[in-house]
A and B are shown apart, each in its own frame.
Chain A
Amino acid sequence: MTVFLQNLINALQWGSFYALIAIGYSMVYSILMLFNFAHGDIFMTGSYIGFGVATALIALSATGMLALPNWLILVLTVLFSMVLTSFLGMFIERVGYRPLRDAPRASAAITGLMIGIILETGNLILLGAQRVKFPALVEPVTYDLGGVFVTNQKIMIVVVSLSLALALHQFIRRTKWGMAMRAMAFDYAVVPLMGVPINKIAAMTFALGSGLAAAAGILFGVAYPVLDPYMGIVFGWKAFVAAILGGRGSILGATLAGFILGFIEIFVAMVFPSTLRDFIAYSIILLILVFRPYGLFGEPYSVRLRL
């Protein structure tokens, strides 16, 4: 039982990252009908930006001019990095996707791959191949709940990612901008005729997705403090799987699917030899998609789309 509970907690943490990244994929996909394959690398860049901001803030704090406690540094790091990474996302949309909006889908898809490679190698050139250590902003405190171990970091990661997903969900449900996004997902061709500025909405979609990816990147740095320029690739693929598994256009679907993916990975490794983890985990997901080709919460395109 303790093993089960322990793995439940492990899976909650692991799923949080998939969830936050899958949301970004899902939004871009439903609004612009394209796969932003650079998203995993935006996550990586967000993590490095977080590293840069945190290092700068710690240095500033160390000079004594502005003594900041660690929790405040963390909050500021998250905010600054989300904003900076949002700008990066908007920039990528402007130079990489907007000029290709009427180009064949394949061209737009490889744009993402190329931008991803540019981000990876750019980082490599800038910082070199050695790994960087993400500053320990949250001193880990382990709580022993009768053989089940929880850290303050784990609680923080799960709470923050769930809150961000819920906040975004509310934003899309309740604001005018959100309505415009839903409208665009519903019918891409008619929406501009109604006076909705699609360029602005597209940029905003990228900004929101990238901001979430940055938040994921920083939380990732807190939990797994060794960063390397290629950490976003496989992670991005898996989050992409979660996005599709969640179903087109569903924020909560993508969130839930992210957690489901985390659970499947962790529990497969619990039951089977860990060497077979991904083999079995992704076979299960393939099977789910066979029975629910529109994802868990998606609907066929002819039906009203949710966002």
Chain B
Amino acid sequence: MRKMVIVSAVLLTGILMVTGAFAQKAATLKIGINAEITGDIPKVGEATKFAAQMYVEDVNKAGGIEVGGKKYLLELAVEDNEAKAESAAKAATKLVTVDEVIAIVGPQASKQAVPAGEVSNNYKTPMITGWSTNPNTTKDRPYVFRACFLDDFQGPALSIFAKDEYKFTKAAVLYDVASDYPKGLAEFFKKDWEKKNGPGSVVAYESFTTKDTDFSSQLTKIINSGAEFLFTPQYYNEVPLIVQQAKQLGWKKPILGSDSWASDELVKLCGKDCLGSYFVSHYASAGAKGATKEFIDRYKAKFGNIPDDVAALTWDAIGLIGQGIKNAGKITGDIKKDREAVRNAIAGIKNFPGITGTITFPPNSGDPVKCANIVKINDKGEFEFYKTACP
């Protein structure tokens, strides 16, 4: 009987040691994906998953990420948040506590990213959203980051572009005073433009309210103000009316816009009047160069469609996590310590060569400083990458 106990004890320890050694040898790190796979915006979830899969395959094919002289393979743990706020928080909890991931990519939409960010931050697990532009996602949350720029950032990006490209000094703005996004953008643009070009350099600052269709009075004012270009941070359903009416009132100067222009509907509704205009965007597939083009071509070959902004931003988000792991110095095996190390490494990232722009995290902020892409609506009505603008 005693013998039996000893034998089985020895055997058990043996088994434990073998399996333990085996686990040690595989050395994988798990990255969580919290994505909108079902629900209202399944395309967003799909793009997230595809881009993340492509990244992980790349890394694993190269033998893994090297941290402190040791290579680690990556593994994805994918959770569906059903495009719901509650499910996003639940998915984040599961990824942190059950799957024990080192970091999380997503959720993408702010509705999900804000509550999921809360959970990740409470569990001290790094999270990077690709797409969410709501300031609350990262606000006062040291563990939460984003790969995209904030809305406010578009104002300075555009004023740089107008200055560099055209040497303009007098701007006009037309915006919807009753809608948060255009109003915020108009204000940020005005502030930045007047800082650079002196007070009064926004020579016309005109507004309207949501659902207005006639802008003739405002545009007449703008045209007679001596402005050299018009900035209108409106949505794709209002831009055609503004642009067409401006042209019919004799305006021949450039009209610039924000990322709210980026919809296939814009050119459909606007026709030839909008061709040749520029707007700020996170990413443009047409006319991409270098690493961005390489990503687009490979993604297209693999999944059959051209990657959208979600896919591109996810690629950068998971890339930032990869870089963070690499910079962490050492993986201890204690998941809490490792998460802390990865977070600190991500927060310290400078000049990360992302495909949506070069990304740097300023001290104490999860909102990156990066270059914005200026997109031109070309003669064929496609959104074509034109140049980058770096405030």
Q: Which residues of A contact B (CB under 8 A)?
A: 2-3, 6-7, 10, 13-14, 130-131, 133, 136, 140, 142, 144, 147, 149, 151, 153-154, 220, 224-226, 228, 230-231, 233-234, 265-267, 269-270, 273-275, 277-278
Contact = CB atoms under 8 A, between A and B. Distances in A.
A32 B376 CA distance: 56
B217 A270 contact: yes
A29 B229 CA distance: 47
A225 B249 CA distance: 16
A14 B216 contact: yes
Interface in B232-252: 237-238, 240-241, 244, 247-250
A231 B211 contact: yes
Contacts, number: 82
B214 to A, nearest CB: 5
Nearest to B177: A275
B177 A149 contact: no
Given A131-B237, A226-B240, A270-B221, A144 B250 contact: yes
Nearest to B206: A274
A149 B207 contact: no
9 contacts: A10-B220, A14-B216, A133-B271, A140-B244, A151-B248, A226-B240, A274-B217, A274-B218, A277-B217
B207 A270 contact: no
Given A6-B220, A136-B271, A14 B214 contact: yes
Nearest to A234: B211
B217 to A, nearest CB: 4
A2 B250 CA distance: 12
Contacts of B206: 273-274
Contacts of B268: 133
Given A131-B265, A226-B237, A230-B211, A3 B216 contact: no
B226 to A, nearest CB: 12
B269 interface: yes
Q: Give the residue among B209, B213, B250 with the most A Cβ atoms within 10 A.
A: B213
Contacts of A154: 248
Q: Nearest 3 pairs between A and B by C-beta? A: A10-B216, A269-B217, A149-B250
A274 B207 contact: yes
Given A149-B248, A225-B240, 18 more contacts: A13-B214, A14-B216, A133-B240, A133-B268, A140-B244, A142-B247, A149-B249, A153-B248, A226-B269, A231-B213, A233-B211, A266-B216, A266-B217, A269-B218, A270-B217, A274-B207, A277-B208, A277-B217
Contacts of A144: 250
Contacts of B217: 7, 10, 265-267, 269-270, 274, 277
B224 interface: yes
A275 to B, nearest CB: 5
Nearest to A9: B216
Interface residues of B, number: 27
A149 B250 CA distance: 6
Interface string B197-231: 00000000011110101101110110010000000
A273 to B, nearest CB: 8
B220 A3 contact: yes
Contacts of B247: 142
Given A130-B265, A133-B268, A224 B241 contact: yes
Given A149-B249, A149-B250, A275-B177, A225 B244 contact: yes
B209 A140 contact: no
A10 B224 CA distance: 15
Contacts of B221: 3, 269-270, 274
A14 B211 CA distance: 15
B135 to A, nearest CB: 24
Contacts of A269: 217-218, 221
Contacts of A275: 177, 207
Contacts of A265: 217
Contact of B220 (A130, A136, A234, A270): A270
B170 to A, nearest CB: 17
Contacts of A140: 244, 248
A228 B241 CA distance: 13
A269 B217 CA distance: 6
B156 to A, nearest CB: 24
A80 to B, nearest CB: 24
A142 to B, nearest CB: 6
A226 B241 contact: yes
Nearest to A265: B217
Contacts of A273: 206-207
A15 to B, nearest CB: 10
A142 B211 contact: no
B205 to A, nearest CB: 8
A133 B250 contact: no
A154 B250 CA distance: 14
Contacts of B248: 140, 142, 149, 151, 153-154
A258 to B, nearest CB: 14
A278 B249 contact: no
Contact of A278 (B209, B250, B271): B209
B269 A225 contact: yes
A149 B248 CA distance: 7
A142 B248 CA distance: 6
Contacts of B218: 269, 274
Contact of B224 (A3, A130, A131, A277): A3
B267 to A, nearest CB: 10
Nearest to B174: A274
Nearest to A147: B250
